[in-house]
Amino acid sequence: MSGLDAIVLERVSKHFKKRSKRNEMTTLKSEVVRILKGQRKVVEPAQHIEALKGVDLRVPRGATMGIVGRNGSGKSTLLKLVTGIYAPTSGTVAVNGRISALLELGAGFHPDFTGRENILINGIILGMSRAEVKERVAEIVDFAELGDFIDEPVRTYSSGMFMRLAFSVATHVDPDILIIDEILSVGDEHFQRKSSAKMNEFRQSGKTILFVTHDLSRIETWCDSAVWIDGGRTRMVGDPRQVVTAYRQAVSAAEAEGERLGHSALSTPGLALPQVSAPPVEAVAPAVQLVDVRLRDGLGAHPSAFSAEGALEVLVDVQLAAAARCDVSVEVATVAGVSLFKTQFAAGELGGGAHTLRLSLPRLGLGEGAHVVTATAWSGALPPQAQSKTLVVAPHPSAFGLLRPEHAWSLEPRGDIAPAPAPRAPEATA
Partner 1 sequence: MFRNLLELYQYRALLWALSMRELKARYRASVLGFLWTFLNPTLSMAVYGLVFGFIMSSSQERYPFYLLSGLLPWICFSTSVLGGTTSISDRKDLLTKVRFPAQVLPAYVVLTNVLNLVFSLPLLFLLAAVYGDAPSWHVVLVPVLLALQSLFTLAVTYLLSALNVAFRDLQHIIANVMQLAFFLTPVLWPLKDLDGKRFGLELSGAELQQLVVLLNPMAALTEAWRDVLFRHQTPAWQPLAGVVAVTFVVLWFSAAVFERRREEFAELV
Interface ranges with partner 1 (CB under 8 A): 16-17, 80, 83-87, 99, 101, 103-104, 107-108, 110, 112-113, 117, 120-121, 124-127, 129-130
Q: Nearer Cβ to partner 1, position 83 or 217?
A: 83
Q: Nearer Cβ to partner 1, position 117 or 255?
A: 117
- CB 104, min distance to partner 1, A: 4
Taking the C-alpha atoms of residue 375 and residue 116, their distance in angstroms, rounded to an integer, is 52
- CB 225, min distance to partner 1, A: 24
- 3-state SS, residue 389: strand
Q: Nearer Cβ to partner 1, position 21 or 110?
A: 110
- CB 324, min distance to partner 1, A: 56
Q: Nearer Cβ to partner 1, position 127 or 258?
A: 127
Q: Choose among 132, 108, 136: nearest CA to 122.
A: 108
Neighbouring CB atoms inside 10 A of 65's CB total: 23
DSSP characters over 150-180: GGSBGGGS-HHHHHHHHHHHHHTS--SEEEE
Q: Choose among 69, 40, 63, 52: nearest CA to 10.
A: 52
Q: Choose among 166, 168, 119, 118: nearest CA to 143.
A: 168
- CB 129, min distance to partner 1, A: 6
| Full strand arrangement of the beta sheet holding 99-102 | 99-102, 177-181, 208-212, 64-68, 225-230, 233-238
What CA–CA distances, in Å, run from 249 to 241, 245, 253, 302, 317?
A: 12, 6, 6, 24, 18
The phi-psi region of residue 382 (left if phi > 0; otherwise alpha if psi is between -120 and 50; otherwise beta) is beta
- CB 26, min distance to partner 1, A: 12
- CB 62, min distance to partner 1, A: 22
- 3-state SS, residue 131: helix
Q: Nearer Cβ to partner 1, position 209 or 216?
A: 209
Q: Nearer Cβ to partner 1, position 101 or 229?
A: 101
- CB 27, min distance to partner 1, A: 11
Q: Nearer Cβ to partner 1, position 130 or 214?
A: 130
